[in-house]
Structure 1
Amino acid sequence: MPIQYQDQVNLLKDILSDHQSECCGTVAECEQLERVIKSLMVHSNTNQQSMELLEDIYNYSQTGKYSASLDQHIESHQNQLSQWINDIDTYS
């Protein structure tokens, strides 16, 4: 049974919040971000601003997944993580 839209948004925000607060993460978390984002992008409630936000986060997860140092990648995106978390609250 698929998880509901708001639950997906909460999961997305939780993973990003963990990355921001802990400055570390796993490839599995990046893959989870990608799956959730793909699901959110096909949802009819997703507006253009949200789509752009999701694309940015998707690119972040793709780059992080293949990064030689995921923790360094996360650390270098601290400002974006903060902004994305705030944006998710605004759009959801």
Structure 2
Amino acid sequence: MPLDHTHQMDILKDILANHQMDCCGTVAECEQLGRLIQSLIANPNIDQSIKQVLTDVYSYSQQGQYTQHLDNHIESHQNEISQWISDIDQYS
């Protein structure tokens, strides 16, 4: 059974919150972020105003998948992660 967009947003937010709190993560989490965001962006029920945030998080996840120093990548995006979580809270 596929997840609805509300649950997808919750998972997205949970992964970002873990990255924010722990300042570390895994390539698998970055891959999951990418899959979630692709699904959300394709969903017509998603508010247009959150799609830019999703695009920014997608870029972050793609960079994270291919960096040699994922923890440094996450740490260098702490301010953005905080803002993304806040933005997602407004639309979920």
Shared fold, TM over 0.5: yes
Bin of the TM-score, shorter chain as denominator length: over 0.9
- Runs of 4+ that moved beyond 2 A: none
1:43 aligns with 2:43: yes
The percent identity for this pair of structures is 58
- The Cα shift of 1:47 comes to 2.3
Query: Paired residue for 1:70?
Result: 70
Q: How many residues align?
A: 92
1:2 aligns with 2:10: no
The normalised TM-score by structure 1 is 0.96
1:25 aligns with 2:16: no
Q: Do the aligned partners of 2:5 and 2:46 also contact (CA within 8 Å) in 1?
A: no
**Structure 2 gap ranges (5+):** none
Q: Deviations over 1:48-89 (max 9, x none)?
A: 221100000000000011011000000000000000000001
- The Cα shift of 1:43 comes to 1.0
Query: Paired residue for 1:15?
Result: 15
* Backbone CA RMSD of aligned residues: 0.7
Structure 1 CA distance, aligned partners of 2:59 and 2:5? 21
Q: Deviations over 1:11-50 (max 9, x none)?
A: 0000000000000000000000000001101111222221
